[in-house]
């Protein structure tokens, strides 16, 4: 998951950043509302952790701005403000959850996981697709109880496609989710094609994967019948 941490208290932002990276998240930090606004406008994030008390911005205004831009990121408000009015206003503006400071980092991770389950309509940590089973907690992919040997990035790529099942994901979306934000002089769309090819090859050693589709000229899609 690609996470933007919007927090003007740098020590807390760094603490969250370090913790989430150790859990396998990709993270960026923004210490002002203006910096966050610019990042959200040009980058794709799965989550934005948003402090309301920014030095140059009302966090609620930043949330409204992001929703007006049709950002698909899930927003979790993290703030010392404890009044019900701010909480209700944030949720009404499109926040997905609200976490009052101080909080335990393990609780933050739990909130992120819970929002991700709602966002992707996942009611179980085990997903069955074709002849394969994906266990999110252990990050294992198996077929007839035989494990498919995927690298960490290959698993992340496959899981993200499965979570966004029946939705076409562009190469840029996949790149930014797995490897972080794109730098124009470094991005190569063939990079994703090579990784998808490797994933398919490893899966097909166990069973055919017609559900992992190439959408010509756009990207890729995992198709799961309802």
Residue 32 has pLDDT above 80, yes or no: yes
- Please say whether the beta carbons of 9 and 31 come within 8 A: no
Q: Which residue has the higher pLDDT, 158 or 180?
A: 158
Q: Which two tokens stand for residue 37?
A: 């606004």
> DSSP states of the chain as a string?
-EEEEE-S-HHHHHHHHHHHHHTT-EEEEESSHHHHHHHHHHS--SEEEE-SB-SSSBHHHHHHHHHHTT---EEEEEES---HHHHHHHHHTT-SEEEESS--HHHHHHHHHHHHHHHTT--SSEEEETTEEEETTTTEEEETTEEP---HHHHHHHHHHHHTTTS-EEHHHHHHHHH-SPPTTT--THHHHHHHHHHHHHHHTTS--TTEEEETTTEEEE----
- State the pTM of this model: 0.73
Q: Which two tokens stand for residue 224?
A: 């799961």
Q: How confident is the model at residue 5 (pLDDT cuts 50, 70, 90)?
A: very high
Residue 198 has pLDDT above 90, yes or no: yes
- What are 59-106's pLDDT values in tens digits? 899 999 999 988 888 999 998 866 778 788 888 888 999 988 889 999
Mean pLDDT value across the chain: 87
Q: How confident is the model at residue 179 (pLDDT cuts 50, 70, 90)?
A: confident
- The per-residue pLDDT for 120 is 72
CA nearest 97: which of 12, 106, 110?
110
Q: Which residue has the higher pLDDT, 56 or 224?
A: 56
Structural domains in the chain, CATH included, are 2-119 (3.40.50.2300), 126-222 (1.10.10.10)
């Amino acid at each position: 998951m690609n996470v933007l941490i919007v927090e003007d208290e740098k020590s807390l932002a760094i603490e969250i950043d370090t913790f989430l990276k150790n859990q396998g998240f990709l993270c960026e930090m923004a210490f002002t509302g203006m910096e966050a606004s610019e990042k959200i406008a040009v980058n794709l994030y799965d989550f934005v952790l948003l402090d309301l008390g920014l030095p140059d911005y009302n966090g609620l205004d930043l949330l409204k701005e992001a929703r007006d831009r049709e950002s698909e990121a899930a927003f979790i408000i993290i703030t010392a403000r404890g009044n019900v009015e701010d909480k209700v206003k944030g949720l009404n503006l499109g926040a997905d959850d609200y976490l009052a400071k101080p909080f335990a980092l393990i609780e933050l991770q739990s909130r992120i996981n819970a929002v991700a389950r709602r966002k992707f309509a996942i009611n179980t940590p085990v997903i069955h697709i074709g002849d394969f089973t994906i266990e999110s907690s252990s990050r294992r992919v198996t077929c007839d109880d035989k494990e498919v040997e995927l690298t960490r990035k290959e698993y992340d790529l496959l899981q993200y496609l499965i979570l966004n099942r029946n939705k076409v994901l562009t190469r840029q979306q996949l790149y930014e989710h797995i490897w972080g934000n794109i730098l124009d002089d470094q991005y190569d769309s063939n990079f994703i094609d090579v990784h998808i090819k490797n994933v398919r090859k490893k899966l097909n050693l166990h069973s055919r994967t017609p559900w992992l589709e190439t959408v010509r000229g756009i990207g890729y899609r995992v198709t799961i019948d309802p």
